[in-house]
Chain A
Amino acid sequence: MISAGKTEQLPDHQRIVITGVGLTSPNGNSLADFRGALLAGTSGVSEYEIRYFGKTFAGVCDFDVRRHQTRKDARRGTRAGSIGAYCANETIQDSGVDWENTDKDRVGIYIGVTEHGNVETENEIFEISNFEYDTKFWSHHHNPRTVANNPAGEIAINMGITGPHYTIGAACAAGNAGLIQGAQQLRLDECDLAIAGGVSESIHTFGIFAGFASQGALATHDNAGEASRPFDMNRNGIVVAEGGCLYVLERLSDAKARKAKIYGELVGYAMNTDATDFVLPNPERQTQCIHKALNRAGLEAEQIDIVSTHATGTSMGDSLECEAIRNVFGKSPTTFINNAKSFIGHSMGAAGSLELAGNLPAFEDGVCHATINIDELDPECALDGLVQNQPRESGKPADYILNNSFGMLGINSVVIIKRFTA
């Protein structure tokens, strides 16, 4: 393990920086558009209907699939693959890497996913239902579409990347987990450039909506844009979203050598496990995970400018995360706290990386985007630094952003990004 408190003392080839961002979210298909929507209070949640389940809400992305994929590849592959191909191409372009002359054998792809294969399996079962469930009508595309590495593998094929590619199955902690995996592989010299983050196609499986509904954890509301309402007294569940956000990660030495634009440095991270329940979070372990990330970065809670929360809009989940945040940041008056799911819903495997991205511009403008849809703040979620409904300016660029991302089976992840100063 890289020792705590030593990040800036590490040699540049062990320091990991973000040099590219490519994303699609329900309210923007670039970091600039996404950030603009977050500052403007623009929701990306819309009315949505899916087979068997019926009408609900979802965060739906409208990026141009054809921008980076042929129609044939989009048809043959999966929605997660298309989201991945879009984000990967966008992040490489954004990074300014000389892609044509990059050794593709030294590029690694590390993609967090909450789940994969449900969409494609449901589609095939529906298809053969039109043929009296005769499996002779089951598609030969089923297996390559549903293997767990599919989203990462589609990116590799799309971009001719021959280094390692795989997905990291980490429930809704996956976006952070992908980022962490990328950083670790760079430090191990397994690659020279990592495309890392998370993607989600989950709105295309009826099962996820039906499952949350049966669990009493799917949001209902009169208005789509107000359905996702973490920390509000009248929150009643999750709005499922699709999306993706992939970063270019590089060693600081490489980023400096090519004079890259640096969004920030990954100075701390941690993952741990509740080991207590299938769905109910454990604030003690979440607290521990945040402390571990702070320790690895050598930081005190008071040094964190923005905490990007995981809160999904469920009654218990939000309260328990607030308990964990209070445990760590209860005496940290300068730490602002926000939530992106209130704008776009829960983008599942993409959530960790997407929500982090929405905060990165605070390293320049010092603005903490809000948590919207808080009409009546739940006293259990009344954190001192919670930024409610309107963005808040701190008067100086943020120095540290801490990003929470938690998932079922008690998987917890935290990353800390530092504003890069040469």
Chain B
Amino acid sequence: MAPAEIREAIIEILEDIAPDEDLSTLEDPKAFRDQLELDSMDFLDIVMELRKRYRVQVPEEDYGHLNSMASTVEYLTPKMEDIAV
């Protein structure tokens, strides 16, 4: 998966776990929490969905990389680049 495809995968996950949010205005460099009503359980949902959908493991010490869309995509790119779309 290319970074743009990883971003789309994250958007699809967010659509499920934050279904009341308008994701079309999401600004990639800004923290998710400053734009969306996400709490710690929601971030665990992101981790769980990455595990279920793509078998990607995000260890607890790396949760900080899921701060924004930009940092998430950057963090996931090496982990997901071999995944076929």
A75 close to chain B: CB less than 8 A? yes
Complex partner residue of A140 from B19, B37, B41, CB under 8 angstroms? B41
State the CA gap A71–B44 with chains docked (Å): 18
Q: Is the CB of B48 within 8 A of A75?
A: no
State the CA gap A70–B19 with chains docked (Å): 8
B30 close to chain A: CB less than 8 A? no
Q: Is the CB of B18 within 8 A of A140?
A: no
Q: Is the CB of A137 within 8 A of B52?
A: yes
Q: Is the CB of B18 within 8 A of A76?
A: no
Complex partner residue of A76 from B41, B48, B51, B52, CB under 8 angstroms? B41
State the CA gap A294–B18 with chains docked (Å): 52
Which residues of B are found within 8 Å of A136, using beta-carbon distances? Answer: 51
B22 close to chain A: CB less than 8 A? no
A133 close to chain B: CB less than 8 A? no
Which positions 46-81 of chain B face chain A at CB distance < 8 Å? 48, 51-52
Which residues of A are found within 8 Å of B18, using beta-carbon distances? Answer: 72
Query: Closest B-chain residue to A75, C-beta based?
Result: B19
Q: Is the CB of A131 within 8 A of B48?
A: no
A223 close to chain B: CB less than 8 A? no
Q: Is the CB of B17 within 8 A of A72?
A: yes
Complex partner residue of B48 from A70, A72, A139, CB under 8 angstroms? A139
State the CA gap A75–B48 with chains docked (Å): 15
Q: Is the CB of B51 within 8 A of A141?
A: no
Q: A140-B41, A140-B44, A141-B41 are in contact. Are A131 and B52 (CB under 8 A)?
A: yes
Q: Is the CB of B20 within 8 A of A140?
A: no
Query: Closest B-chain residue to A128, C-beta based?
Result: B52
State the CA gap A139–B16 with chains docked (Å): 15
State the CA gap A368–B16 with chains docked (Å): 47
Which residues of A are found within 8 Å of B41, using beta-carbon distances? Answer: 76, 140-141
Q: A76-B41, A140-B41 are in contact. Are A71 and B48 (CB under 8 A)?
A: no
Central interface residue in B16, B51, B52, by most chain A CB within 10 Å: B52
Central interface residue in B20, B37, B44, by most chain A CB within 10 Å: B20
Q: Is the CB of A75 within 8 A of B17?
A: yes
Q: A76-B41, A140-B41 are in contact. Are A70 and B51 (CB under 8 A)?
A: no
State the CA gap A71–B18 with chains docked (Å): 8
Q: A76-B41, A140-B41, A141-B41 are in contact. Are A70 and B52 (CB under 8 A)?
A: no
Query: Closest B-chain residue to A131, C-beta based?
Result: B52
Q: Is the CB of A72 within 8 A of B19?
A: yes
Which residues of A are found within 8 Å of B37, using beta-carbon distances? Answer: 72
Q: Is the CB of A137 within 8 A of B48?
A: yes
Query: Closest B-chain residue to A70, C-beta based?
Result: B20
CB distance from B21 to the nearest CB of A (A): 8
CB distance from A364 to the nearest CB of B (A): 40
Which positions 137-193 of chain A face chain B at CB distance < 8 Å? 137, 139-141
State the CA gap A141–B43 with chains docked (Å): 12
Which residues of B are found within 8 Å of A75, using beta-carbon distances? Answer: 16-17, 19
Q: Is the CB of B51 within 8 A of A71?
A: no
Which residues of B are found within 8 Å of A141, using beta-carbon distances? Answer: 41
State the CA gap A76–B48 with chains docked (Å): 14
Which residues of B are found within 8 Å of A131, using beta-carbon distances? Answer: 52
State the CA gap A136–B59 with chains docked (Å): 12
State the CA gap A78–B2 with chains docked (Å): 37
Q: A140-B41, A140-B44, A141-B41 are in contact. Are A71 and B52 (CB under 8 A)?
A: no
Which residues of B are found within 8 Å of A72, using beta-carbon distances? Answer: 17-20, 37
Which residues of B are found within 8 Å of A76, using beta-carbon distances? Answer: 41
Which positions 72-95 of chain A face chain B at CB distance < 8 Å? 72, 75-76
Query: Closest A-chain residue to B16, C-beta based?
Result: A75
Which residues of A are found within 8 Å of B51, using beta-carbon distances? Answer: 136-137
Which residues of A are found within 8 Å of B52, using beta-carbon distances? Answer: 131, 137
Query: Closest A-chain residue to B37, C-beta based?
Result: A72
Which positions 4-30 of chain B face chain A at CB distance < 8 Å? 16-20
Which residues of B are found within 8 Å of A140, using beta-carbon distances? Answer: 41, 44-45, 48
Nearest 10 A-B pairs (CB), nearest first? A71-B19, A140-B44, A70-B20, A71-B20, A72-B20, A72-B19, A72-B18, A137-B52, A140-B41, A75-B19
23 contacts between A and B (CB under 8 A): A70-B20, A71-B19, A71-B20, A72-B17, A72-B18, A72-B19, A72-B20, A72-B37, A75-B16, A75-B17, A75-B19, A76-B41, A131-B52, A136-B51, A137-B48, A137-B51, A137-B52, A139-B48, A140-B41, A140-B44, A140-B45, A140-B48, A141-B41
- Knowing that A70-B20, A72-B17 are A-B contacts, what are 11 other residue pairs whose CB atoms are under 8 Å apart, sorted by A's residue number? A71-B19, A71-B20, A72-B18, A72-B19, A75-B17, A131-B52, A136-B51, A137-B52, A139-B48, A140-B41, A141-B41
